Amino acid sequence: MIRTIVLRKIFGSFIACNDLSISLPKNKLTALLGRNGAGKTTLLAMLASVLPPTSGAILFEGIADDKRRENTGTVFENAPVYPQLTVSEFLGLSASVYGLSSQSGRVAIQRELERWGLQAEKNRLCGNLSRGYRQRLALARALLTEPPVLLLDEPTSGLDPLESEHFREVIRDISRTTTIIFSTHILSEVSDLADYLIILEKGNKVAEGSIRQIMDSSGADTLERAFSQYAQS
């Protein structure tokens, strides 16, 4: 279980996240749904320890605060790679930075190359990869240590329909042993993947629960209509 308690982030006079208290279930897929500017990326950045909150607390069950970053895999939208390195070199460098031994690193790299269909690209320069393959590579890097928590910001951005379907299959499989939180504004992605849903609007939490619970509480017969009601509240 991951919890935030009255979490707030302010940039100057702008409140990006406003007193968010949420609970994220363990080993489930939680979607952060909201329009652009709703606060999704800011919340993920605070969960990832990339951005400090202005106030409030973040609690990862069983993970001390000083161990949170190394136990969390994170992929932000348009995740950077080193263009002058090959795919294998990039993953090798990442494995070294993560503290994996040579043997463990080789095993992890081969696992992720196979998982994301990158075997044929392993000797290509990262700078020559398509956006979709760069996204796959970023996901592969995030999973090298098989972290218990995975944070994904608009993870299918840049993926074509076949790549998106492959991503969904992999993420469903990983979620059996990993707590996954992903941001999106794509309703079909939420319907296909999410066990739990949090709707954000202008930095505020406006709904939280399973898709069925959110639809029932709004009186809507589709997720699209429920989201439309909450996003205008």
Per-residue pLDDT tens over the stretch 34-89: 988 899 999 999 999 999 999 999 988 877 777 788 889 999 877 788 999 999 99
Position 157 pLDDT exceeds 80: no
**Tokens at 202, concatenated:** 């202008």
Give long-range contacts, CB 8 A cutoff, 24+ apart: 61-65: 61/1, 61/2, 61/3, 61/26, 63/148, 63/149
Is the CB of residue 154 less than 8 Å from the CB of residue 183? Answer: yes
Position 233 pLDDT exceeds 60: no
Which residues make Cβ contacts (< 8 Å) with residue 39, sequence separation at least 6?
9, 16, 17, 18, 20, 200, 202, 203, 204
Query: Taking all residues of the chain, what is their mean pLDDT, rounded to a whole number?
Result: 91
Domain ranges of the chain: 2-80+148-231
pLDDT the model gives residue 66: 75
Q: Would you give the DSSP letter of residue 49?
A: T
Per-residue pLDDT tens over the stretch 173-231: 999 899 999 998 888 889 989 999 999 999 999 999 999 999 998 888 888 888 888 87
For the domain spanning 2-80+148-231, the CATH number is: 3.40.50.300
Higher pLDDT, 79 or 172: 172
In total, the chain counts a number of residues equal to 233
Per-residue pLDDT tens over the stretch 90-110: 999 999 999 999 999 999 999
Is the CB of residue 171 less than 8 Å from the CB of residue 73? Answer: no
